[in-house]
Every structure is written in structure tokens, then in C-alpha cells.
Amino acid sequence: MKFSEADAGGGYLVEGYSADWISISGRRYTRSLILTPSDIIEPWGPTQAADLNRLHLTAISHLSPRVVLIGTGERSAFIDPVLYLNLIERGIGVEVMTTGAACRTYNILMAEGREVVAGLILETNG
């Protein structure tokens, strides 16, 4: 999916995505990554939702988000809440959804000026 209008004036925006890539600021990424309005951190460890562990979420928590989006790949996946309990206990909102939905939600929250971090899993990791 390609977004028709993306204004990156406030930070990094997802310009488009498919099952095996995410486009940010004119560059295609083919490996899982962490995205914030000011940083792109790649590669990020998990290659599928089942690989996600506390260390992956610790890397996200060090970025001081108010909202964390976890993109689980093409399909929705259940993530054990115990993995992100530390974030919730610190008052950080956590939402788990497909990577496509996480890309769209990230753009909205970022455009609103929210302190959002997205952990986006690309299962192909090519």
C-alpha cells in the first residue's frame, strides 16, 4: 500500500508498505525495524511475532515512548502480555496489530505529535 500524501515535516512517516518492505523517507526497508519520529533502528531482532521477547521490548522502552505499536507481520498474532507488562506498569500504552495497521496508526499518532514508537516485524527479512 502506498500513501498518497505524507508530510514528513514532523518526523519520519511511513510512505508505503507491503508484505516484505516498508518505505520511509524514500528508502525501502526489508528487515524488521523500530521506528520513531526521529529515528529508524534496524535491523530489529524478531523475524516473526513468535520470536518477540522481553529484550526486543526493552530496546523500545529505552526510547521513552508514551505509546508502543507492535506490528506482527501480515497476520494478527497474540503476544503474551507478560512480555510488555513492564511497559504497561510504567503507564506506556501498548497496541499489537498487523504491521500494515501499525504503519497506518503510527503515521496518525506521529502527525498528532504523540510520542510513539513502532516495532515493525517484516517476516521476510531479506
pTM for the model stands at 0.90
53 is a domain residue? yes
Exposed/middle/buried for residue 2 (C-beta within 10 Å: 0-12, 13-18, 19+): exposed
Range of the domain at 48: 8-120
Q: Model confidence over 59-94: pLDDT tens digits?
A: 999 999 999 999 999 999 999 999 999 999 999 999
Peptide bond between residue 81 and the one before it cis (omega within 30 degrees of 0): no
12 is a domain residue? yes
Greater confidence (107 vs 45) lies with 107
87 is a domain residue? yes
Provide the CATH number for the domain around residue 43.
Answer: 3.40.1230.10
The domain tally of the chain equals 1
